[in-house]
Amino acid sequence: MTVVISVVGEHTIDSPPERAVLFVTASFETDDKHRTVESTTRLVRELTGELESLTAEGGPATWFSVGPMRTHAWRPHAESGAIMPLRHVASVPVQVKFRDFGQLAAFSARFGRRTGVRLDRVEWRLTQVTERGVKEAALAGAVANARARALVMARAAGFTDVTASQLADPGLLEGTPGDGPPAPFAKAEVRLAAADSGAADLDPEAIDLKPEDVSISATVHARFTAR
């Protein structure tokens, strides 16, 4: 007699980050649209000049991007209910990827003090090569976890071993609601830990960054035959 055992296998690997992407917004708000756009443009040019230096060959950053400028206007109201003049806002998103976290802290402290600069967040990441290897290891761990769970069930039921009959991404196992074509392996999902740099009010020497690990998880749905 054989018994079919269906299980879920999961595995997570936490790795120290190798890169940090800093998200910055350059923005001004005034009562004059031309002055707002002009001030924002000037600030972005200064940021770009600094980032070009940081991303030079062998520099502490690997790349940066500057998005398009966005503008909008809003009209405030006084406490008395009187309508105030329009306020004009212009903003430009900027991203920069650092490999040197000390330089990330220094840059954040230096530009975080600047009027018009907002440090939004930091995303800790792995290099593509490392991430690919960790994803594969997490996936292999998920399959091993599924087999271990199935083996525990099989032995509790009086069997001695199990053989895999199906391995699939979540929801793709044959015979389950909403099933689709079976897939040989599960999808590895990357959860990137994010942290606010908090560097705007600190001197570079006072910053002690403690990056969060990058967690990479894999989940697999599996069926085993107990024997």
Q: CA 152, 158, 160, 166: dihedral to nearest 10 degrees?
A: -60
Report helix, strand or coil for 104. helix
Q: Find the mean pLDDT for residues 46-70.
A: 96
∠ CA 95-96-102, nearest 5°, is 140
DSSP 206: G
Mean of per-residue pLDDT scores for the chain: 87
Of the pLDDT bands very low, low, confident and very high (cuts 50, 70, 90), residue 83 is confident
Of the pLDDT bands very low, low, confident and very high (cuts 50, 70, 90), residue 2 is confident
**Which residue matches tokens 């708000």?**
29
Greater model confidence, 133 or 182: 133
DSSP 35: H
Greater model confidence, 130 or 186: 130
- Is residue 134 predicted with pLDDT exceeding 50? yes
Q: Which of 77-81, 192-196, 222-226 has the lowest mean pLDDT?
A: 192-196
CA separation, residue 111 to residues 32, 103, 215 (Å) = 25, 12, 29
Domains of the chain plus CATH, in order, are 3-16+129-226 (3.30.110), 19-125 (3.30.70.360)
Of the pLDDT bands very low, low, confident and very high (cuts 50, 70, 90), residue 225 is very high
**Among residues 105, 26, 29, 31, which one has the least CA distance to residue 66?**
26
Question: How far is 15 from 81, CA to CA, in rounded Å?
Answer: 55
- pLDDT recorded at residue 176: 64
Buried b / exposed e over 21-46, threshold 16 CB at 10 Å, is bbbbebbbbbeeeeebbebbeebbee
The interaxial angle of helices 33-54 and 101-112, nearest 10 deg, is 160
DSSP string for 49-94: HHHHHHTSTT-SEEEEEE---EEEEE--B-TTSPBPPPEEEEEEEE
- Is residue 194 predicted with pLDDT exceeding 50? no
φ, ψ for residue 42, nearest 5 deg: -65, -45
**Among residues 130, 145, 172, 133, which one has the least CA distance to residue 11?**
145
Q: What is the pTM of this model?
A: 0.77
Question: How far is 166 from 175, CA to CA, in rounded Å?
Answer: 11
- pLDDT recorded at residue 174: 83
* 145-169 pLDDT tens trace: 999 999 999 999 999 999 999 999 9
